Structure 1
Amino acid sequence: MTAPFRFPRFFVTSPQPCPYLPGRQERKVFTELSGPNATELNDALSRIGFRRSQSVAYRPSCAGCNACLSVRVLSHQFEPNATQRKLLRRHADLEVTACRPWATDEQYQLLRGYLASRHPGGGMAGMDEMDYADMVEQSPVNSVVVEYREPGRGGVPGRLIGCCLTDRQADGLSMIYSFFATDEDARPALGNFIILDHIARTREAGLPYVYLGYWVKGSPRMAYKARYRPMEMLGPRGWTPLSDEDAG
């Protein structure tokens, strides 16, 4: 019998300084997503903790450290708390559109402002227009860019204030990368709203999970992900609930 697709070849990166936990080294294992079965391969790998970046699927493979844990929200069981309900009401006027994965200058300018404000020294800070276009358009799977705009007037679209590059998988939505306006006085906590909107979209589509990438206990940059429970984390025993004790 002929296998439906060739088993992928995996590679390992050289150790680099960990961006989440000081004094540690990170290493990744990765494989290429290509060919007619890229979608099925991406779905299968996501269920064992891989994430997509352009046409590559990767996951941490760090010597002596397993702090990075894949997490996913159980969309049908999620109930927003009082703070999250207030946030949903605050941004209920936003116009949300799932667009084909095509990079625009408006999106890129929003990304530049976001990186300058939130991650000025990060690895993406030097992204130019071509880098951004590659991030959005080099997708071998079913992807969209979800845009969040303020209300338009007279047929003119409103200000773009948020974006999320999102993959549609067989069992849910995977939030690949989100960015947004950081003028907190006018539009507070947009990043949290984008996650809440994706949970609602996943539930409406009849899908069970929203994949949020990696959660790192002890990393302040990742602490926000534990707010969206019930949530599952991937560990040695498979997908298990993230408890209050786990979340710290």
Structure 2
Amino acid sequence: MNTQVHPSPQFFMTAPAPCPYLPGQTERKVFTHLVGQRAPEMNDILTQGGFRRSQNIAYRPACENCRACVSVRIIVDEFEPTKSMKRAVAGNTDLLAKEYPAEPSTEQFALFRQYLDSRHQKGGMSDMTVLDYAMMIEDTHVNTRIIEYRIREEGDGIAEKPAGRLVAVALTDSMADGLSMVYSYYDPSLTDRSLGTFMILDHIRRAKAKGLPHVYLGYWVEGSRKMTYKTRFLPQEHLLMQGWTRYTPPAE
């Protein structure tokens, strides 16, 4: 009997670099490549172990003196929206969301640049070109989809591709135990719509419809204002030294 043995992934370490979240801290990451037939399986295992995917690379913080980055996942079946979340849903009933293969478009890139220029002018992605964006979307060996959110126009829902204005986009991996939000962006001028919140709520709805128990939100960094929103989606679990642990918010 022939037994096929799959090689274990090789892991590498990045050089130290300034932390983008906490001033004065230095970050390092351990990473491996997600390629070949086992990539979807490895992506599931690594995501459950605290890794994130970027293109065909899975990475995790491996900082020497800091453990601030904590993986977060929402418990879908127990999730209860707050009043403000319900308002975000009610304020976006005119949006039409459609899921497609992970393929970039010039329309997506224009919105992406608008988002970066407004929200992340000094971030690591601030100088991304259209080619960089295409690689971010297309360079995947796992089950990745792109979800476009458009303002509904008359006749939408009949044609294969809706015609309404594109206002938000989510790049999402579908895994055995949930949906992982790899990257999302939206029209920064539409502040009254709470589009970031709405996209997470839509992913919770999608996961529940598919019978998936989790929505993975990536890393939460206590003390980083840009990460605060992630702990609003309760109940949720954080990956700690003892494993996935239910998060208890601090008393107000």
Q: Shorter chain as normaliser: what TM range?
A: over 0.9
- Letter aligned with residue 159 of structure 1: R
- Letter aligned with residue 34 of structure 1: V
Q: Give 1:212's match in structure 2, choosing from 209, 217, 221.
A: 217
Q: Give 1:177's match in structure 2, choosing from 144, 162, 183.
A: 183
- Letter aligned with residue 200 of structure 2: I
Structure 1 residues without counterparts, runs of 5 or longer: none
The residue that corresponds to 1:161 in the other structure is 167
Structure 1 segment 42-191 matched on structure 2, within 5 A = 42-154=43-155, 157-184=163-190, 187-191=192-196
Residue 239 of structure 1 pairs with residue 240 of structure 2: no
SS at the partner of 2:231?
helix
The residue that corresponds to 1:37 in the other structure is 38
- Letter aligned with residue 220 of structure 1: R
Write out per-residue CA displacement over residues 45-93 of structure 1, whole angstroms, 9 at most, x where no aligned residue.
1111000000000000000110000000001100101110111011012
SS at the partner of 1:20?
coil
User: Do the aligned partners of residues 18 and 3 (structure 1) sit closer, same or farther apart at CA in structure 2, a change above 3 Å counting?
Assistant: farther
1:154 Cα deviation (Å)? 4.9
SS at the partner of 1:198?
helix
Structure 2 residues without counterparts, runs of 5 or longer: 157-161
SS at the partner of 1:194?
helix
The residue that corresponds to 1:20 in the other structure is 21
Write out per-residue CA displacement over residues 135-161 of structure 1, whole angstroms, 9 at most, x where no aligned residue.
000010000011000012356610000
- Letter aligned with residue 25 of structure 2: R
1:200 Cα deviation (Å)? 0.6
SS at the partner of 1:76?
helix
Aligned equivalents of 2:61 and 2:4: distance in 1? 28
1:232 Cα deviation (Å)? 0.2
Aligned equivalents of 2:188 and 2:172: distance in 1? 20
Q: Give 1:203's match in structure 2, choosing from 199, 208, 211.
A: 208
Aligned equivalents of 2:172 and 2:155: distance in 1? 30
- Letter aligned with residue 181 of structure 1: D
Aligned equivalents of 2:225 and 2:154: distance in 1? 39
User: Do the aligned partners of residues 61 and 111 (structure 1) sit closer, same or farther apart at CA in structure 2, a change above 3 Å counting?
Assistant: same
Aligned equivalents of 1:86 and 1:20: distance in 2? 30
Aligned equivalents of 2:115 and 2:91: distance in 1? 21
1:4 Cα deviation (Å)? 4.6
1:189 Cα deviation (Å)? 1.1
1:183 Cα deviation (Å)? 1.2
- Letter aligned with residue 218 of structure 1: G
- Letter aligned with residue 139 of structure 2: Q
SS at the partner of 1:46?
helix
Aligned equivalents of 1:212 and 1:85: distance in 2? 19
Say what the alpha-carbon RMSD is for the aligned residues: 1.4
Aligned equivalents of 2:6 and 2:47: distance in 1? 17
Superposition TM-score, scaled by structure 2 size = 0.94
The residue that corresponds to 1:227 in the other structure is 232
SS at the partner of 1:244?
coil
- Letter aligned with residue 152 of structure 2: P
The residue that corresponds to 2:159 in the other structure is none
